[in-house]
Amino acid sequence: MPGREPIGIIFTAGLLFLFWIVLSGYFDWIHITMGLISSLIIAYIFPIITIEKKNGDILRLGSFMLYLIPYVIRLQFEIIKANIDVIRIILDPALPISPAVRKFRTGLKSDGALATFGNSMTLTPGTLTIDINQGGESYIHYLTTPDADQQKATEISNAVQRLFEGRGLWRRS
């Protein structure tokens, strides 16, 4: 079964377990055992690292992670930038808000990519994704009227597109 090779599951479980240890902060045997079991189950159900062999060559090993790291960095940058903008608005005595709902069309096709885009926009302060349809059309509420090009939405959409184009399993056929 593609994507369920034992070595891929082990690598995925190892990454998830390492992430769990970093975030949990508990190092007793009960928590470590539960973290290991959870990581193995999740790795089996949702293999992040896949190994595809063709004529003995490994074609892909963890490509999703290679695309995920720049995406997370980009998202963090957008969140920090949006936080600074919202702080400036709050501290301004005139409170310069101009709420607006704008339609934004993405080139995203898969449900996972659309959900990631919507959640990413909602995570950035000052924006809230109201609705997304299957065609990639979304409605976003802004705290202040965005520029005509909706630069923030465009940048996040492009980052999500790069993330999901690098992973064939996530594309809808």
Q: What is the pTM of this model?
A: 0.66
Q: Over 50: is that where the pLDDT of 133 sits? A: yes
Q: pLDDT (tens digit, 9 = 90+) per residue, 143-171?
A: 998 888 888 899 999 889 888 776 443 44
For the chain, counts of helices (H) and of strands (E): 5, 5
Residue 132 CA to residue 2 CA, distance in Å, equals: 30
Residue 19 CA to residue 9 CA, distance in Å, equals: 15
pLDDT of residue 153: 92
Confidence of residue 99 (pLDDT cuts 50, 70, 90): very high
